[in-house]
Structure 1
Amino acid sequence: LSLVMANLDTTIISTALSKINSEFHAYDSFTWVITVYMLTNTAIQPFADIFGCRTLMIFILIIFTAASFLCGIAPNIGVLIVGRALQGIGSGGIAALAFIIIADITSLRKRGIYMGVNGAIYAVTSVIGPLLGGFFTDQLTWRWSFFINLPIGIICIIFFVLYFKIPTEKSSFIEKFKRIDFLGTFTLIACLVVALLGLNWGGAKYSWKSPTIITLFIVSFALLIFYIIIEFKFAKEPITPPVLFKYRNITASSVTNFLEGIIFLNVINTLPLLYQDGRLFSATYSGLRLVPISVFLTISSMGTGYLIGKWGHIDIYIKLGCFFSIIAVYLISLIGIDTQYYIEFLIFIIYGLSCGVIYQNCIMVAQRASPPEYLSISTTITSFFNYIGGAIGVTVYGAILQN
């Protein structure tokens, strides 16, 4: 239920963005509603291995539910962005912990089936999200896209407090707190924020050749170098342990999920804007047009989960998914104002089928390649790169629109 809520929150806003932009007159900063959400998603994920699943899940559910209320009552775009940042902390933790819990309670052979179910949840909420967001926007108000999380969040908190039991490391909160790589976390987020500011302001608020934009990119690069030094030399428990990248499959999975994050968030958020602002469709109808992507994403996710659980050969499905995803994204880029829907429908089938086999299967590849002591962190790393890709991709997309 918590995973349904977190995944729903990722896509429900896509059909509400146009209305939010017009209400707050925020066309120059609307991408930050998505970008900060993806950035803070990455910040919480590495802590799962330190604090344990139950404690951290309860904490992030409380944050997520409170942040949803803040987004729902937001009087301006600034408050909404702050609320989305807090929501991202909760959503990122929920998504990462779901994969860790599956890894902890299932055998390697059966994990593909459970990952397929997990992927199906992601796919189904991808269908429901834009539809619900469109319905709330047209019939009530876009604010209900956030208020809907309140009852679900409260139920999840009660369940985890009363019923969820899983073994955790016996150590005090202070000892766990000392293990957090605060310097690495702060440096990485600062690096990304500065780079994204440069991309967001470039060509819109400042010229690309202006000292401000050049300085932002230089500072971002310097912070990246500093982050790498921290992780290699100083961090006792680094966010991204360098030792894991000696395993080729973990590196490949992380890079693949990074690129998938760039693509998926852009597709899900670009098409509703095309439909609402370009073709003047309602928010609800815009959500309905995206249903084929999610339906076929569900089919491929559950189908490959079953096939992998029965016969293995996970790498073949990922390679096929990447190949057809490239073709589908190229075809999506050709969609214009007058494109017939049957053509879009066929393109969405290809994209949905290809996208459904990539994300959760890359995580499973990383888990299989990881030493047992790094199982949790290898899971969060691949998810971590997916969300970073989403943050960068949405900002680049916004920069393209503004220019």
Structure 2
Amino acid sequence: VVVCTRLALAVLASSLDQTVVATAMPHIASDLNGLEHAAWIGTAYLVAAAAATPIYGKLIEVFGVAQMCLLSIALFLAGSLGCGLASDMNMLIGFRAMAGIGGETMFGLSLVAIDAVAPRGRRADLQGAFNAIFVVSSLVGPMIGGAFTDRVSWRWVFYIHVPIGIIAAFAVVFVLRLEGTAGSAREKLMRIDYLGSAVLTGAVVSLLLAVSWGGSTYPWSSTPVVIALFAAIILLFLFLWVEGWLAKEPIIAGSIVFQRNTFLSLLVAFLAEWGVFTLIYYMSLFYQLVRDTSAIRSGVLLLPFLLCVCLWTIGTPMIVKRLNWWIYPALLSGGLALASVAHGFTIMLGETEYIAAESIMLACIGIGYGCISSTIYLAGQASVAQHERPVMMMLIAFVQHLGAAVGLSVSGSVFNNALAKNVIKHGG
């Protein structure tokens, strides 16, 4: 219980970080005279995190869960403290990248730690609870960030992570009792696939830069975006060649990615994160811009989604325990279908409020996503061998991160194009 409580604090800090900072961005850009680079406050964190997450899975296998948890927390603490002390925008962006490498890997690492220390009958329940913490903290983050920024200083948006991270680090060092992996430090370092890691990092960074730039900073057909996409494709094929022919210990084994069950789990994870992050961002925008509601009221209107996500994220593992493995496909396909159909009804929204109908729609999306978010990790664990579980869980976390990034970018491009057409149409 003590271990899980302190690991939950680490998940809380890391999941709060991105949404808390979003509210403070205008003040940060103004104070540091870097409005033109404000987007990189989020992009640097996102790109660094996505590049590091899949590699962490292999590093867990080489060095052990406790060591990688401690490294992740240390990087997040150092990055957060550096952001709070930043004197210019370049310094802030650099420390945001460091915080991203540590912060966004905490969730996956916490699930791996639970898998290692929790009794078999409690793992599903605890993983569901951690998923709920992640979702709730992501949604309440903007309100917390606004409170710190308005009443204290935007720097406390970063400082607040330090005491939470120290408590989590204490748990890893003194409470999390896990045996280290065999071998000397030199032998462990020799097991790392440095070439594969470098190529994969390049592919992920190129892809995320392309989707971050496309439709916002540059047109999708512009030279920088096309070059970034082309580089991502070339590096991806190079990575597959390196892992298949050169690497003695691949970062991501082909037996994981190309197995039918794991591939489908990763695909569902990608699509689910695409949908839910687009919903959270653009429903809030819709309420505030179209219906002229306050930021607080827009958050209240999303409560049906939030409550259903929490209830079903925690409740789904209980269903799995009672009905066993065969329920995984039903929960994943049923959750995705329910969320997709409910998403479709959002096109009917207009200036007039229909609170009851909209609450039911959001509740259905929450139920669907709640079914998926817990089941996806359980299904992934059940599809691979015991020693491959850390890699699989970090891979799911990576795909979820990628789905959110790509989804927000594509949705943003569609939104901007539609906005531009309507402005021209109405003579704006």
Alpha carbons 2:47, 2:208 under 8 Å: kept: no
Quote the residue 2:81 is aligned against: 69
- Taking the TM superposition and a 5 Å limit, the aligned residue runs for 1:10-49 are 10-17=18-25, 31-42=39-50, 43-44=52-53, 45-46=56-57, 47-49=59-61
Quote the residue 2:240 is aligned against: 228
Q: Which moved more, 1:322-331 or 1:32-41?
A: 32-41
> Cα RMSD between the aligned structures?
2.9
Which of 115, 138, 162 lines up with 1:103 in the alignment?
A: 115
| 2:137 equivalent to 1:125 | yes
Unaligned runs of 5+ in 2: 1-8, 418-428
The CA deviation at 1:181 is 2.5
Unaligned runs of 5+ in 1: none
Alpha carbons 1:199, 1:395 under 8 Å: kept: yes
Quote the residue 1:394 is aligned against: 408
Task: Tell me: CA distance 1:204–1:309, structure 2 relative to 1, closer, same or farther (3 Å).
Answer: closer
Task: Tell me: CA distance 1:111–1:72, structure 2 relative to 1, closer, same or farther (3 Å).
Answer: same
| 2:361 equivalent to 1:350 | no
Q: Which moved more, 1:106-115 or 1:63-72?
A: 106-115
Which of 8, 16, 20 lines up with 1:8 in the alignment?
A: 16
Quote the residue 1:148 is aligned against: 160
Alpha-carbon distance in 2 for matches of 1:23, 1:356: 39
Dislocated runs of 4+, deviation >6 Å = 21-28
Which of 299, 305, 311 lines up with 1:299 in the alignment?
A: 311
Alpha carbons 1:31, 1:394 under 8 Å: kept: no
Task: Tell me: CA distance 1:287–1:213, structure 2 relative to 1, closer, same or farther (3 Å).
Answer: same
Quote the residue 2:421 is aligned against: none
Secondary structure at 2:182's aligned position in 1?
A: coil
Q: Which residue identity does 1:351 align to in structure 2?
A: I
Percent identity reads 28
Alpha carbons 2:49, 2:101 under 8 Å: kept: yes
Alpha carbons 2:216, 2:412 under 8 Å: kept: no
| 2:252 equivalent to 1:240 | yes
Which of 172, 182, 198 lines up with 2:184 in the alignment?
A: 172
Secondary structure at 1:352's aligned position in 2?
A: helix
Quote the residue 2:5 is aligned against: none
**Bigger RCO of structures 1 and 2 (CA < 8 A, at least 6 apart):** 1
The CA deviation at 1:311 is 2.3
The CA deviation at 1:209 is 3.7
The CA deviation at 1:383 is 1.7
Quote the residue 1:380 is aligned against: 394
Alpha-carbon distance in 2 for matches of 1:396, 1:248: 27
Alpha carbons 1:35, 1:392 under 8 Å: kept: no
Which of 286, 302, 306 lines up with 1:290 in the alignment?
A: 302
Alpha-carbon distance in 2 for matches of 1:73, 1:342: 46
Alpha-carbon distance in 2 for matches of 1:292, 1:228: 43
Alpha-carbon distance in 2 for matches of 1:283, 1:78: 30
| 2:336 equivalent to 1:322 | yes
TM-score normalised to structure 2 length: 0.83
TM-score normalised to structure 1 length: 0.88
Q: Which moved more, 1:16-25 or 1:359-368?
A: 16-25
Q: Which residue identity does 2:19 align to in structure 1?
A: T
Quote the residue 1:371 is aligned against: 385
Quote the residue 2:170 is aligned against: 158
Larger of the two Rg values belongs to structure: 2
Superposed CA offset, 1:111-162 (max 9, x none): 3222222223223323432332233344444443322211111222223222
Q: Which moved more, 1:162-171 or 1:269-278?
A: 269-278
The CA deviation at 1:52 is 0.9
| 2:263 equivalent to 1:255 | no
